[in-house]
Structure 1
Amino acid sequence: MILRDALPDDAVVIAAIMADWLAVTPWIPKLHTSEATMQFARDLVAAQTVRMAEVAEGVGFLARDSGEVNALFVAQAVRGRGIGRALIEGAKATGPLALWTFQANPAAQRFYRRAGLREVGRTDGAGNFEKLPDVRMEWAP
């Protein structure tokens, strides 16, 4: 597995991974056009610390702004192969982490708990773009 910083050209792959997840996740509202998803990916790479994890069959990425993880996605073809874990462990090496995940995504909550994050709060989703109930999780060394 290769871990590296994202390059501007990686925005295409990042947008594709996100679009694939959105397409197969029935509970997430379809609020973004493909152009908006592409722009979001470009903005992530330009403004945040984005790490890529690559194996021969696919990639994953983690975007963070300081200790706040704003996105962690792994291509469907390579889920369960340690890519997400490698990305979160790399982020943990930089210091405390915090993130939001949706209450409707128990698999993500399990993943983060196994990685050592703990739930510290829940909201009704009124404050997020999707208006979906969410869970706040944190990790500190």
Structure 2
Amino acid sequence: MADDVLLRRAVDADARAAADVWLRSYAAALPTVRCAHDAADVQDWFARVLVPQYETWVAVTQDTVVGLLVLNGQELKQLYLDPDWRGRGLGDRLMDLAKRQHPDGLSLWTFQVNRPARRFYERHGFTEAERTDGERNDECEPDVRYVWRPQTS
């Protein structure tokens, strides 16, 4: 269960495993979207950029990375789960962590075709703010920007 999973800041040694989760998740969730980078490029990106330069968190069980969250200020850059871990509450835990880290609000981009991710974000209070034709992303895939602002009393 997701309760047995430790959420912690990523260290350099986690980069390869986190990249592998990203690659598996991307392939499973977005089979119709061309991945703009090969596995070696993704692994390099995690090792050189995401883990050392961003607020990167990993979800770990039995020394295995099964999920990841990457924040850059108030932008949620990445939230990916190993496909076997979808539907177990781990995504909810990572989203709760993101909101605790940035209680003033978050924004993110996802592909328009990624309906499960869009439902997930909407369930967590994100609202659609913008759509593009994908000209600004590496995949050239139409995307949608979501924002979350905390409820004010």
Instruction: Specify if TM > 0.5.
Output: yes
Tell me if 1:45 matches 2:51: yes
Partner of 2:40: 35
Q: Which of 26, 35, 49 is equivalent to 2:31?
A: 26
Following the alignment from structure 2 to structure 1, what is the Cα–Cα distance between the partners of residues 72 and 31?
28
Distance across 2 between alignment mates of 1:45 and 1:30: 20
Report the secondary structure of 1:9's partner residue.
helix
Q: Flag the 1:58–1:48 CA change in 2: closer, same or farther, 3 A.
A: closer
**Which residue in 2 is equivalent to 1:127?**
136
Equivalent AA in structure 2 for residue 10 of structure 1: D
Q: Please, which of 69, 84, 92 is the counterpart of residue 76 of structure 2? A: 69
Deviation by residue 1:54-82 (Cα, 9 ceiling, x = unmatched): 23575211001001011110001111111
Count of aligned positions: 141
TM-score after normalising by structure 1: 0.93
Q: Aligned partners of 2:50, 2:65: CA distance in 1, in Å?
A: 19
Alpha-carbon distance between aligned partners in 2 of 1:58 and 1:77, rounded to the nearest angstrom: 12
Structure 2: which 5+ runs fail to align? none
Alignment of 1:1-141 (within 5 A): 1-24=5-28, 25-42=30-47, 43-56=49-62, 59-93=66-100, 94-95=102-103, 96-141=105-150
